[in-house]
Structure 1
Amino acid sequence: MGMSSDDVVLIEEGKTSGEPTVVTVNCPDKAGLGCDLVRNVLEFGLYVTRGDFSTDGKWCYVILWVVSRPISLKVDWASLKNRLLSCCPSFLPSFYLNQLPDRSTLPPLYVLKVFSLDRQGLIHDVTKVLCELELTIQGLKVMTTPEGKVLDLVFITDHLDMLHTQIRREETCEHLSGVLGECCISCELQLAGPEFKCYQGFSSISEEIADELFSKEVSDVKKAVINVDNLMSPAHTLLQIQCLDQKALIYDILKVSKDCNIRIAYGRISTSVKGYRSLDLFIQKDDGKKIIDIENQVTFCSRLKEEMLHPLRVIITNRGPDTELLVANPVELSGKGRPRVFYDVTFALKTLGICIFSAEVGRHSTSDREWEVYRFRLDETRGHPLTSNRAKLDIVDKVRGTLMGW
């Protein structure tokens, strides 16, 4: 007989505001499970304060202490539990598995068409509603007309796998119309057919801009230190990591381990102390052996440092007469990128009072990886003037700071 869902995922909410909620997962192990769990935690706007991972290769036990950021954020813990359950290997009773979406095939793509009057923070408000409804943005085109109206074409998938129902589609449009208020002229949601392929293209990036956006950045090595120890354990390599704390740091580390086929047999994530986070990870290669080869150690540690120090790239440049903000998000080998990037960027721009003239999301491949790239043409007729270099640097700093949680 299978285990109940409470035995697999247990969520104990903090008793007071700001007190961490404890998330416990107890299930069969699979490659990259820790990365998948943390990614879903991030999608709900949560920050991991500390954690413990343990597995014998067949069964794993994970404890995460999480808090919402901002504190006022309302979290649907029941939905988070279902999302975490969907990450766990299929061993639950059939009556429960039938309630979970089938992840063996790609989810259907829908197009949300929002036609509205333009106003500051419009795109962020749309993005916020989609996050609250557990709808994921897969692509986007934002177009502003000369009359001051905006057409948003948002290509989305549904974590609840319910957009095929009229109730779910109506709920989404009603929620959006309620948030946008009188600005909303119309809202439609339908399955994305072949006629929308022309809107899903991604304008090419010039070689000069690509070199700047995807170049290897040099950083203060003191912000990320990794010690490799093969003497502490007879069967595992110990990684001792100390790094400047930031949002999604744990995900970035686990993502590299997943992509490099490194199994974490035991891991302890300590709380942040004076802005720095410490991790002890006992790891093995996928063949169950230590990482003995020095060259392999250097390669793996270099990849980890790159992800810890520069998990995202942010630049601002000129696109003809316009100012353009570009944000690059490296994706996992599975094709998934860090969650809530579009949410954070639009929030930062809204906070600065900067309007978005147009926006698009697409993919770009470099020699060693694929990137999710967000492009924003900024409206220079309203809000902050963007003519000075100082103003542009302020935008980059604000966007990067929001993405990193600083």
Structure 2
Amino acid sequence: MNVLVIGGGGREHALVWKISQSPLVEKIFCAPGNAGIAELAQCVDFKVDDIEGLLAFAQEQQIGLTVVGPELPLTLGLVDRFREAGLTVFGADKKAAQIEGSKSFSKDLMAKYGVPTAAYGTFTDPEQAKDFIREQGAPIVVKADGLAAGKGVIVAQTEAEAIAAVEDILCEGAFGAAGSRVVIEEFLEGEEASFLAFTDGENIVSLASSQDHKPALDGDTGPNTGGMGAYSPAPVVTDAIHQQILEKVLKPTIAGMAAEGCDYSSIIYAGLMIKDGELKVLEFNARFGDPETQPLLARLKSDIVPVLLACAKGDLSGIELEWHDKAAVCVVMAAGGYPGAYEKGQVIEGLEAAAAIDDLTVFHAGTVEKDGKVVTAGGRVLGVTGLGSTVAEAIETAYKGVKAISWPEVHYRSDIGRKALNR
């Protein structure tokens, strides 16, 4: 079977890496891919939102399974278009992708179906939004309603900071059309976790627990990013919390989506805040997390292709996942300045040395090959992923890889996984 993976980041490299291990797969294409993906798949030069171009390519190459990585093509209806053409495609359709594409849709859904989440208000009028902030006080969270590549969330410590965020989003257009509305939420304290599960709209097959690190700097300080690292398993997700997630979050959400005419058959990602054994949902994503996918797939023992096919065909009955006992830690190496302005085209040194380290995989995110060398081409450049019998060992392996790799002004956090050690 020929497989097409859509996307070009670290998540897609991890998906291609795992799919390439399946005996069911003959050839993998990736659009647009990156320098690391090119070692495992044929990269084809399509933008992820070129739905008609991708469809024509998939038909021409007799693609047996298309796997959609990023959120943008999901919200634009790529899955709907491929299904109309009779192709097998893994991903949420346009209606279902609203759970990520519109934070107000997601919050209203949770409120209607009793899913625990932060109190909130939705606004298009900046003055009403500012009044709400003054009523609620700070700290408070301001979110652009639409897709903003993981950067549309401002955790404001003061009212002035929150009001400035509203002005940036609603008045200055900091996030374009994604910021035509804002969702303003109460600030939640606790420890974050990511929980991903496959669903066919009825059956739920959970992945292992994981934890992302959104802020740019050590100690969870600095601006929010698309994610600076992740690890799995996350000890904050105890067996009791796991059961709560299934009963209080995933089951009512998936049933609620069906009741709203949004049949959900794909992966669903719940970003959670956990405190004193109770949880609330921060956000939902309609796709694999990035960088959570890297450590999760490094730990997955099962062949992923039958799972993706079962999900794409809407029947997960009988599917179970097997996991390696080892822990995995992914440290994101980013361009200096990320998530703000950064330089591209820096030559990356040390990739061969890192490749020689046992239990280490370097997933490429923002890279291209130029004149025979791998150079930086994005904000998040690499996801250096280490395995170990414990989280502590996996951290050691990952940072051994990080220290082997360099380019000018490289930036990474030095505390990925530390919360697990504190437990």
Q: TM-score range by the shorter chain?
A: under 0.3
- TM-score (structure 1 length as normaliser): 0.28
Larger Rg: 1
Write 1 or 2 for the structure with the bigger share of strand. Answer: 1
- TM-score (structure 2 length as normaliser): 0.27
